[in-house]
Amino acid sequence: MKKSLAVWVMLASSWLGLTTAAQAAPETYVFDKSHTRIFFDVNHLGFSQYRGMFHEYDGTFVFDAKNLAKSKVDVTIQMTSADMYHDKMNEHLKADDILDVAKYPTAHFVSTAVEKTDKGAKVTGNLTLHGVTKSVILDVTFNEAKPHPMNKQFTRGFTALTVLDRGEFGIGYAVPMVSKEVNLYISVEAQRTPATGKK
The CATH number for 136's domain is: 2.40.128.110
The SS3 call for residue 127 is strand
For residue 19, tell me if it sits in a domain.
no
More confident position, 197 or 182: 182
- DSSP symbols for 80-123: GGEE-S-HHHHHHHTSTTTT-TTT--EEEEEEEEEEE-SSEEEE
For residue 6, tell me if it sits in a domain.
no
For residue 95, tell me if it sits in a domain.
yes
For residue 20, tell me if it sits in a domain.
no
- The pLDDT confidence band at residue 14, using thresholds 50, 70 and 90, is very low
Indicate left, alpha or beta for 46 from its phi (over 0: left) and psi (-120 to 50: alpha).
left
The SS3 call for residue 153 is coil
pLDDT value at 17 more than 70: no
For residue 57, tell me if it sits in a domain.
yes
Alpha-carbon distance 102 to 20, whole Å?
Answer: 49
Answer for the pair 139, 162: CB distance below 8 angstroms, yes or no: yes
Polymer length of the chain: 199
Structural domain that includes position 188: 26-193
The number of folded domains in the chain is 1
Strands 181-193 and 72-78: unpaired
CA proximity to 153, closest of 26, 25, 29, 22: 29
Answer for the pair 164, 193: CB distance below 8 angstroms, yes or no: no
pTM (predicted TM-score): 0.85
For residue 184, tell me if it sits in a domain.
yes
pLDDT value at 4 more than 70: no
Chain segment 85-137, per-residue pLDDT in tens: 999 999 999 999 999 999 999 999 999 999 999 999 999 999 999 999 999 99
For residue 18, tell me if it sits in a domain.
no
- The pLDDT confidence band at residue 9, using thresholds 50, 70 and 90, is very low
For residue 9, tell me if it sits in a domain.
no
